[in-house]
Chain A
Amino acid sequence: DQQVKQNSPSLSVQEGRISILNCDYTNSMFDYFLWYKKYPAEGPTFLISISSIKDKNEDGRFTVFLNKSAKHLSLHIVPSQPGDSAVYFCAASAHYGGSQGNLIFGKGTKLSVKP
């Protein structure tokens, strides 16, 4: 049973426009959420995170929004650039028990930004 779901396997946007990547989760104990970017044959690179005490976190072109009541988060990239083309993974963690810090990953969304 998937606890973290990224329902869109792929997304294509035009350079300069906004990219919105979505993620849903089922476990109400999750209290920390992260987005990673991954190029083929490389490890994921940490992009941005958000704690459940916030509903928005911004870092340059990247903003993550968290809607706890809907168990939904999204990553906005504005403006999108061709170098943003990669697979984006959503991940979640629960700050409890012996598994503190362990991440549950979604299956990823492949973003293509066209010039």
Chain B
Amino acid sequence: DGGITQSPKYLFRKEGQNVTLSCEQNLNHDAMYWYRQDPGQGLRLIYYSQIVNDFQKGDIAEGYSVSREKKESFPLTVTSAQKNPTAFYLCASSGQGAITQPQHFGDGTRLSIL
């Protein structure tokens, strides 16, 4: 089945540690996105990539980094510079074209600080 796979589902980080969240899609989508959701809040865009080897900062990119070496993969690293990393992280992808395409989401990774 085509879809978006995020791993792990739960992740714990120690203070001062970098962690990497995985996102893989087999939908052949060009664009991929990372969002953060906090309790009672909507989704906020961290980074997005519309094509391989290119990515752009979203609204809350500070303390995060990404790479897009393959079309299928868009890993997110939460660095020690991110002072409030506890949140639910969602990865999405969408096709590109003349008409805007809906984004499809993975099931998320919940990151907590030890």
Binding site for B on A (CB under 8 A): 4, 9, 31-32, 34, 36, 41-46, 49, 51, 89, 93, 95, 98-103, 105-108
Contacts and interface: CB of A to CB of B under 8 A. Distances in A.
Contacts of A98: 50, 56
Contacts of B108: 41-43
Chain B: number of interface residues, binned into ranges:
20 to 34
A42 B107 contact: yes
Contacts of B41: 107
Nearest to A98: B56
Given A102-B45, A105-B43, A108-B42, A46 B107 contact: no
Interface of B: 4, 6, 31, 33, 35, 40-45, 48, 50, 56, 58, 88, 90, 92, 94, 96, 99-108, 110
A58 B77 CA distance: 40
Residue from the set B48, B99, B100 with the largest chain A CB neighbour count within 10 Å: B100
Contacts of A106: 42
A106 B108 CA distance: 18
Given A43-B107, A89-B42, A102 B101 contact: no
A41 B110 contact: yes
Residue from the set A49, A89, A95, A101 with the largest chain B CB neighbour count within 10 Å: A101
13 contacts: A4-B42, A9-B40, A32-B100, A43-B90, A43-B105, A49-B102, A51-B99, A93-B100, A95-B100, A101-B101, A102-B33, A103-B103, A105-B44
